[in-house]
Structure 1
Amino acid sequence: MSAVTEAVRPYTSYVYAYPHKTAYRPLPDRPALAGLWADEPKDALSLYAHIPFCEVRCGFCNLFTRIGAPDELTTRYLDALDRQATAVREALGDAAPVRFATAAFGGGTPTFLTAAELERLCDIAERRMGADLRAVPLSVETSPSTATADRLAVLAERGATRLSIGVQSFVEAEARAAVRPQRRAEVEAALGRIRDTGVPVLNIDLIYGIDGQTEASWRRSLDAALVWRPEELYLYPLYVRPLTGLGRKGPAESDREWDERRLRLYRHGRDHLLARGYEQVSMRMFRRADAPALGPDDHACQTDGMIGLGCGARSYTSRLHYSFDYAVGMPEIRSIIDTYTGTRDFSRAEVGRRVDAGEARRRHLLQSLLQAAGMPLADYAARFGGSPFDDFGAELARFEERGWLDTGAPAGLLRLSPEGLAHSDGLGPELFSPAVRAAMAAYEAK
């Protein structure tokens, strides 16, 4: 097999959720949340709070975030988050047990908020939603410039079990090439402060495929991260998306050359971590073999619901995924945030996509197969009454032909091979339904 599979580019799209948000559309009926959640299991929900603010916007970033927050915007945003949380908790009702099994604060950069504002965010999660942050896994994203001692102390005291810091590269020239202005000393100081909190899990995000990055410079970043013995490391391939800082630059190499370089760097990073006591959880995620558990997490992303708070967060029921409007361009993001902060009634779903039985099968397969552990066929049969080979025979046959399925997996387990994991960002999009593909293709970036 060649370094890059001829038929499919290895870096098509990062599949972290399905259907993708660009397949969402305004919901004409604006369904009431109380009706959407009435018959849903609510005893193992996931809670996600989105904070759409950053001090700077990295050149590769296409997340829903804006630079800065003038005129007390964070106060108005938290006011709206409080109103939304109140409306959502009311919609969940009390007819059946309501329990959150896991929680996360993301963005943007949640630690853009001050220490007092982080206290308020935790209060909203606990007092409005009823999440027991000290009893469940709580993951919070941060950045080198905002990981200050007072903010981190709040998060540690309120129950954070995992702090994730986006470093991207310890090599300053590479950070500049990715339009990520930071100094190595600032990064190291932030990591020291995180370790001082005693929060049990540190995750460090790194990026490969940056212009000028080589195996040697990539290894320097990996080794600099390993000095801190992080419990987790995420290795992200660089993507250049429309309306981002890097998207406005011309390509430094052909697509094929870039794909081959990213694959080389991925394999180098994977092997480097595996040789140093890390286990591969997915294409991106590596966990230290002796890392402590995050806590009692009985939330299953394939089946359990999610409550998203904030204008960039998604919520999932079994039949509808919903959110607010989505944009990448700064003027549009500012407009959406302004609309959110001015909203008084959060009792209805505004933008989303229906999930029928066929899409539920695809989502289950995607979210299971892209994990290194694979998918027990019995789990799929118990939920859907059939086999993925009956429902997705053509796709799985292609994957097997390409060497992407582990033919040595134990009986009853569908699992990717190491090469299949390497091609997760090409494999995943092949499982998208024609309807979702069409909606994504029709989406106009803004």
Structure 2
Amino acid sequence: MAREPSLRPARPSSSPAEAPQPARIKGRVQQGFLLLREILERAGRPDLAARLATWGTVDDLMLDSPELVPSLLGLAWEMRADAAFGELFKAEEGGAVVDSQDQPIAPCGRTYQQVIHSHLYASTRLAIEQADRTWAVREAKRARARWRKEQATARRSLLKMFRKPREPDFDPAEFRAKSPKRGLYEALKPYLTTPDQFSLAQSYALLTTAHIRVLGDLLPTFTRPEQIAFLAALTEGDVYVLRRCARIYGEWKLGLRRPKRPRPGTEPPPVSEEDEARLIGEEAAIFRELMAHHHAAIEELKVMGPNAERLIDLVAPVFGDSIWSVLGDKQALHNVVNTPEHLMASLGPFCRYVTPAVSEIWLQMNDQEIIVDILKFARETFREKEFAYYLADPSRLVVWSSLPAKFNNNFKYQRDAMKSNLIRNEQDLRTVCAGVFESLRQGKVL
């Protein structure tokens, strides 16, 4: 089998007279398809020849099994020296059989690579047209059913009893003008570049024009049918939100996140071309990671809609690369969104274990600086699993509930204060915390 070439769009001819003729190419390819079946039969491969006979035309083959097209074209290329194929592979100049895949073939003037490319276009177009027709037929049936239901309701009225309107002609062709796939082929065409995409032609037909508009150059990064099918199940709005989330998280990872409302006189410099290129690559990688491994997180982000961007802004510095697993865990996400923002830096990734009931107790502290430092000391004192357990365990709620009464009325706190009987400093708070932490260990207020 000849190596699969990388595909490049054909360069337009300098004049209309020099442009390749699609009908002529199609006829010669059909001729080659029939010859290939005959040669396989003579070569003792009736099984393969019979399989090819399933399709009467190349169009039938491209529509039903487009993934076979590059292999069959490759087989024809390898057999071009056969007398039966000689006429189909003659060079434009000299009349000999072409020996290079970028050598123009007479009479169409296209190279072998360009012929493959044109078949990738055709396979995708045929799949989209079939999906478009199916959509239009389905919509016409729905419209007819709605009309009949409305008429049945209307005839129950005395005013309508003596007049029965004629049923309109619900022609599927008229519905195609409103199809969400209108313009899909034209939008996809710039991204059809490699032979591997023959196997995706039918999957691409699941998408809409709006999907391509939002996905843009991220589309070629999805190389499996199941990935395309998952994308197709998302709305245009969903894809936009997910791309924005991937972009924002990429900015955090690369240290390029800019404040939304910078202080006057502190406007950050624009992102350089080099950083923008890095950011585009990072966004694509994050988006692929989301699509491949974090469907539960995607469902939550879809529900949040535009609010998802603010959440990513808030939790990206806290969770880092574990952000998507947190977003995909309903209980963890519920805990995080109910955690007071000013405590997130102290808690770090432990936010996912803080129940809303505990967060509410902490907010009852008159001096929030105290609870900030208590949480900081707790992270220094407990092992990770131990601290996570004390935050989430309902039996420890009684200990957390004791903190407002302990500190609100008789503990005036200043972290760096000098030792005195009036103001307590960090060391004083650490001493009190030793008792609080022992209470957490025992599950009761000591």
TM bucket (normalised to shorter chain) is under 0.3
Q: What's the TM-score, normalizing by structure 1? A: 0.18
Point out the structure with the larger strand share: 1
Structure in which a larger fraction of residues adopt helix: 2
Computing the radius of gyration from Cα coordinates, the structure with the larger value is 2
By relative contact order (CA 8 Å, sep 6+), the higher-ranking structure is: 1
